Amino acid sequence: RKEVEQDPGPFNVPEGATVAFNCTYSNSASQSFFWYRQDCRKEPKLLMSVYSSGNEDGRFTAQLNRASQYISLLIRDSKLSDSATYLCVVKGMNTGFQKLVFGTGTRLLVSP
Amino acid sequence: GAGVSQSPSNKVTEKGKDVELRCDPISGHTALYWYRQSLGQGLEFLIYFQGNSAPDKSGLPSDRFSAERTGGSVSTLTIQRTQQEDSAVYLCASSFPLAGGITDTQYFGPGTRLTVL
């Protein structure tokens, strides 16, 4: 089983739609959680951290359920520019340093 | 300011040849990471450098892979006797670690796309 699992998609949605991505992680000792965004043939960039209490950044809302080892990302009022791959990232200890483990990503396509 | 830079951006090589990939981290970032991303796959951790400490090499897939970081700044990832399965995008990231061994946000370079024929 992969340490971080995501639905690969693609999710095809019209502009203005609300879309949600889910992610599960296997290591219950994982300490920090993030969503990264990766555009086609570009490097990943941090979108937002995910906190236990849930957090919101504009149209983006991230939530964490530690009991279920589940992370979500909600995008409201989708824009064409939101089209990208969204990577679920989990940070845990590895031989003394905190290692990031990346999911394979969920691809989002927003159409006019 | 300048971000993480990597060179070359693209590298095509023949099976069996050695390649060197270079990473220039953000100035002042003491932590440096190498990852690779194969088509349709997630990022795979390769190696981690932190200051003058011994690197964490736990992610290197074979002894054909090695990396150095000279002077605590520039890093070179070397792949010897390349194989076709080494074809991937090799990404470098750097960060400025916070206290207690916690790493701050990782900033990625644009990557080197390696194709082994």
Strand partners, B56: B48
Q: Do B48 and A97 touch (CB under 8 A)?
A: yes
CB B117 within 8 A of CB B13: yes
Tens of each residue's pLDDT in chain A, 112 residues: 788 999 888 999 999 999 999 999 998 888 889 999 999 989 999 999 898 888 999 999 999 999 999 999 999 999 999 999 999 999 876 555 667 888 999 999 999 9
> pLDDT (tens digit, 9 = 90+) per residue, B21-70?
999 999 988 889 999 999 877 889 999 998 888 888 989 999 999 999 98
pLDDT higher at A97 or B75: B75
Q: CA B37, CA A103: separation in Å to the nearest integer? A: 11
Question: Nearest-CA neighbor of A34 among A56, A49, A52?
Answer: A49
Q: CA B91, CA B80: separation in Å to the nearest integer? A: 18
Contacts of B43 in chain A (CB under 8 A): 44, 87, 100, 102
Question: What three-state secondary structure class fits B52?
Answer: coil
Q: CA A83, CA B79: separation in Å to the nearest integer? A: 34
Question: Exposed, middle or buried, B63 (CB in 10 Å: 0-12/13-18/19+)?
Answer: exposed
Q: What's the pLDDT at A94? A: 55
Preferred mutation among A100, A101, A104, A107 to probe B, highest tally of B CBs within 10 A: A100
Q: Which of residues 74-113 of B touch A (CB under 8 A)?
A: 91, 101-103, 105-106, 108-111
Out of A43, A91, A97, name the one closest to residue B111 (CB): A43
Residue of B nearest to A105 (CA): B42
Q: Inform me whether the pLDDT recorded for B101 exceeds 60.
A: no
pLDDT higher at A100 or B1: A100
